Amino acid sequence: MIPVRDTIPSENYPVINNTIIGINVILYLVELGQGAGLERFIYIYGLVPARYSVPHIASYFSGGQQLFSFISFMFLHGGFWHLLGNMWSLYIFGDNVEDRLGHLRYLLFYLICGLTSGFSHLIFNLQSNIPTIGASGAIAGVMGAYFILYPSSKILTLIPIFIRPYFIEIPSFFFLGFWFLVQFLNAAGSHGDISGIAWWAHIGGFIFGIIFLKIFLVLPATGLFNKVRQVTARRKTHHLQVVRPVGSGNDPHLYGIINITPHEAFAGTRKLINIPWGFHKRLFRVEVPSSMKKGGILRLRGLGKEMPNGQRGDLLLKVVIQP
């Protein structure tokens, strides 16, 4: 199963989240340029518990290097798929958490979650001389915050069966709760760092993400917060939208809603809509013409209910213009 996105659109562009993703990609390219020196590079900038617990190893590093590794380790990755998996998870969950906390508070929240996830890994692997790298601990903190903030959200998930894509919606509390359970079971069943995966960093990040969310939500927002939100307000809704048609009685037509922004209503746009049919969903392209008015109707012919005479009604999509 491949998570595609959540079903709650963010109201503002995730400036910080996208910047973090960009930094991770750039630093991965820096890693690729290390050549034969990559192992040394990872040992210096990764998080190595033995560097803090074994005196003769710690003596090779300055205090600044030791502190910096707690930041740098969360921006390095062990391979392309490691990077892709982490950044995709951050892309799905980070924008909503940034939307709720605001840009500056989200940046601080992300970094603190990464730091505490590193401490969690260090405590449970004090003698390990293997470097730990990756953003997964910080991202686990973001996922913990999302778990609390949006329990009613659903994760649109792709199930690739043969060449035809199928989509299902998994409640976020189940998706993230199951993820956390898997991390805990793996951590409990692992022996030290043999697996090469920092399970306790994931667990610590998730738990501390919930704790720090509670703290950050209490902190008052500044006047700058509202000014920045005005600048970063989204001009477009999600390209892929889930439509749940409804109908009644003998009416052959089905009715649904499509969301667009004022900018999209003025300029026109194209959307990809996902419509449930039985136990799977199908994708359709919809073109919203320019100068669309609030409450306007888009007609998708032949996508309504099938009548006894074999004829099909239409799917009528009401246009909702979000403020």
Q: Could you tell me the mean pLDDT of each successive run of 10 residues in the chain, 323 residues long?
A: 81 92 97 93 94 92 92 94 93 93 93 94 89 93 95 83 73 89 78 61 92 89 65 75 83 89 88 69 83 89 84 90 78
Instruction: In whole angstroms, give the CA distance from residue 208 to residue 146.
Output: 12
Strands, E, within the chain: which ranges?
Answer: 2-6, 154-161, 164-171, 240-242, 254-260, 269-277, 280-288, 297-300, 315-321
What are the structural domains, with CATH classification, of the chain?
A: 2-231 (1.20.1540.10), 240-321 (2.60.260.20)
- Give me the half-sphere count of Cα atoms (radius 13 Å) on the Cβ side of residue 122: 19
Long-range Cβ contact pairs of 262-265 (< 8 A, separation 24 or more): 262/321, 262/322, 262/323, 263/235, 263/236, 264/235, 264/236, 264/237, 264/288, 264/292, 265/291, 265/292, 265/293, 265/294, 265/319, 265/321
Starting at the earlier edge strand, list the strands of the sheet with 164-171. 2-6, 154-161, 164-171
Q: Are 9 and 238 in contact (CB under 8 A)?
A: yes
Q: Give the alpha-carbon dihedral of 247, 248, 252, 258, to 10 degrees.
A: -20
> Could you write out the DSSP letters of every residue in 203-233?
HHHHHHHHHHHHHHHHSPPPHHHHHHHHHSB
Alpha-helix residue ranges (DSSP H) falling in 102-171: 103-124, 136-149
Q: Enter the tokens of residue 261.
A: 């922004």
List the beta bridge partners of residue 166: 159
How many C-beta neighbours within 10 Å does residue 168 have? 15
Query: What SS3 class is residue 4?
Result: strand
- For tokens 């003998």, name the residue: 250
Task: List CB contacts of 209: < 8 A, sequence separation 6 or more.
Answer: 109, 113, 140, 141, 142, 143, 144, 145
149 closest CA partner among 118, 167, 178, 176: 176
pLDDT in the model for residue 101: 92
